[in-house]
Amino acid sequence: MTTTLTTEGAGAEEAQARRLDRADPGSRDLFHIPPADGGRYPEAAYFAGNSLGLQPRATRGELLDDLDDWARLGVEGHLEGRRPWLPYHELLTGPAARLVGALPAETVVMNSLTVNLHLLMVSFYRPRGARVRIVVEDSAFPSDSYAVRSQARFHGLDPDQAVVRLRPRPGEDVLRAEDVTGFLADQGHTVALVMLGGVNYLTGQFMDIPAITAAGRAAGAVVGWDLAHAVGNVPLRLHDWGVDFAAWCSYKYLNSGPGALAGAYVHERHLGDRGIPRFEGWWSTEPATRFLMDPVSRPPATADAWQISNPPIFSMAPVRTSLDLFDKAGMDTLRERSLRLTGHLETLLGRITPTTRPVTAITPRDPRQRGCQLSLRVAGASEIARRLRHRHGVIADVREPDVIRLAPVPLYSTYHDCWRAADALAREVAEDA
């Protein structure tokens, strides 16, 4: 027997989704929506934007404009291009700062996420005496775990002793903010750095950034955040919250393409502090003196001082295009639609009849404690996700051994996508009953 989502039947649920899409449309027409299963489905129900966002339609043309300037101008494109390359990275600074709630001087787009985290930890992880520990969540993305462990080793410390991995309470899936702040109140005198994920990649939990930041700084620690799953997903106020530093990628919710350039933030209280250690290169010095070719850097009192190399123009172009979309849509407006869309998907998933293969949500139910991602624990997650794609045109994301992640992105996902995903999942788990 096939399980349906409600006693009204799938047809009524689908009709409701269509009505909601007419009343609450997103900006789907601004994106390329890929087909699924070799074109059997003209448009996929795409829920993997937390892994790789979709391509904005404007990206190709604007990138080609920059390529044409190279063909037309050669080296003169640095000063004479339609968007001159020499100050090109400055085009990204303002919109990136607005997106994370920072001052332009605090923000720079450069490198990749883990490279930025390492460059920032050179400055802000400075173990002294008993204050040597780095606090992360136990479910931190592996790259973050590797980064902090290698930083501890670089300072001659045993990473098994220096890195503290905070775990949820027994029987729970997410780390409570009060357990983090409680640890910092009790053990903060041993902590040099707190570095957590703003939105956890596995569970989708939106951490209480202001409360944890305040607790960490009150304990005398530096507080940094990995915002890979937070930027473009939830509203951020990094400057007002007093965050010391942060870094993020731009290929997930920021839709800038695979391996796209990342961003970095440093609070203004640290800018211009010549006592902060920092790796430097040609782009770390004042623009006005860069071409004097002096052997000693003169870093500006901005986040640009953490740059090292000449910005890659053709990698910056898609980031600039995407940031323009966020500027026009507004993060607060996107968050409001995200709450409605994710709430609708949650309701549909909650109506799946229990089977011998139960589906359990591990994302917080409180909308204030999550972004748009809903994580589901189900046995055989990889096989279920394969069936969702090939039988139903639903593209989801899997984290082994048993978690399917569904991210209805407010820019391009629809209520009908949510219906397709929930209906397909109900049918697949029922088939195994």
Q: What is the pLDDT of residues 235-263, one digit of tens each?
A: 999 999 999 999 999 999 999 999 999 99
363 labelled as ligand-binding?
no
Task: Kindly give the residue spans of alpha helices, DSSP state H, lying in 265-380.
Answer: 313-329, 331-350
Q: What is the pLDDT of residue 6?
A: 44
Per-residue pLDDT tens digits for 401-432 = 999 999 999 999 999 999 999 999 999 998 76
Q: What percent of the chain has pLDDT above 90? A: 92
In a domain, 115, yes or no: yes
The structure's pTM equals: 0.95
Q: Pick from 1, 21, 2: which is nearest to 425 by CA?
A: 2
200 labelled as ligand-binding?
no
Same domain, 323 and 407: no
Specify whether the CB–CB gap between 116 and 147 falls below 8 A.
Answer: no
311 labelled as ligand-binding?
no
> Can you give the CATH number for the domain in which 318 is found?
3.40.640.10
Cα gap 347→64, rounded to integer Å: 43
Same domain, 41 and 166: no
In a domain, 166, yes or no: yes
226 labelled as ligand-binding?
yes
Per-residue pLDDT tens digits for 185-205 = 999 999 999 999 999 999 999
**How many domains are there within the chain?**
2
Same domain, 220 and 347: no
Cα gap 408→412, rounded to integer Å: 8
143 labelled as ligand-binding?
yes
First to last CA, the chain: 9
In a domain, 75, yes or no: no
Same domain, 320 and 336: no
* Contacts of residue 47, Cβ cutoff 8 Å, sequence gap at least 6: 394, 395, 396, 397, 405, 406, 407, 408, 413, 417, 421
Per-residue pLDDT tens digits for 334-368 = 999 999 999 999 999 999 887 778 999 999 999 99
Question: Is the confidence at residue 1, as pLDDT, over 60?
Answer: no
In a domain, 392, yes or no: yes
Q: What is the pLDDT of residue 5?
A: 47
Cα gap 246→195, rounded to integer Å: 9
Same domain, 388 and 348: yes
229 labelled as ligand-binding?
yes
Same domain, 53 and 104: no
**Which bin fits 21, alpha (ψ -120 to 50), beta or left (φ > 0)?**
alpha
In a domain, 339, yes or no: yes
Least confident span in 2-11, 48-57, 254-263, 322-331: 2-11
The residue among 328, 343, 375 that closes a domain is 328
> Can you give the CATH number for the domain in which 344 is found?
3.90.1150.10
Q: Please name the helix (run of DSSP H) or strand (run of DSSP E) that holds residue 121, with its range, or none.
A: helix 113-124
The DSSP secondary-structure symbol of 205 reads: B
141 labelled as ligand-binding?
yes
Same domain, 167 and 310: yes
Question: What residue numbers bound the domain in which 363 lies?
Answer: 10-57+331-431
306 labelled as ligand-binding?
no
Question: Is the confidence at residue 4, as pLDDT, over 50?
Answer: no
41 labelled as ligand-binding?
no
DSSP string, 2-50: ---SSTT-HHHHHHHHHHHHHHS--SGGGBPPPPBTTTTBSS-EE-BTT
